[in-house]
């Protein structure tokens, strides 16, 4: 169930965030929701993540059937053949 949320944010931050969302093909709501999920994930161990990596988090959309192990294996096979 989705619920409406009202936030107070600096206008320039909103402008930059909307631009970023457009560039990555996502909505501002999706960006905020993903961030809040990541922030509140109880199963995740606290780690130090660089600011550059934080900006990339969630920027790549993969197909639902993406098999990371298969793709990594194929990469290494092509690299070492």
pLDDT digits (tens, 9 = 90+) for 45-69: 666 777 777 777 777 777 888 888 8
Assess if residue 4 is contained within a domain.
no
Provide the whole-model pTM.
Answer: 0.50
Assess if residue 6 is contained within a domain.
no
Crossing angle between the packed helical segments 28-40 and 11-24, to the nearest 10 degrees: 100
Range of 48's domain? 11-79
Q: What is the pLDDT of residues 16-30, one digit of tens each?
A: 999 998 998 889 999
Assess if residue 5 is contained within a domain.
no
Give the total number of structural domains in the chain.
1
Residue 14 has pLDDT above 90, yes or no: yes
CB 57 within 8 A of CB 44: no
Predicted confidence at residue 7, as pLDDT, reads 92
Assess if residue 35 is contained within a domain.
yes
Assess if residue 2 is contained within a domain.
no
Assess if residue 50 is contained within a domain.
yes
């Amino acid at each position: 169930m989705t619920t409406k949320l009202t936030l107070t944010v600096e206008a320039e931050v909103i402008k930059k965030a909307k631009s970023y969302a457009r560039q990555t093909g996502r909505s501002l709501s999706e960006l905020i929701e993903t961030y809040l999920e990541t922030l509140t994930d109880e199963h995740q161990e606290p780690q130090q993540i660089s600011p550059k990596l934080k900006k990339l988090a969630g920027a790549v959309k993969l197909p639902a059937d993406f098999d990371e192990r298969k793709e990594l294996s194929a990469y290494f096979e092509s690299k070492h053949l």
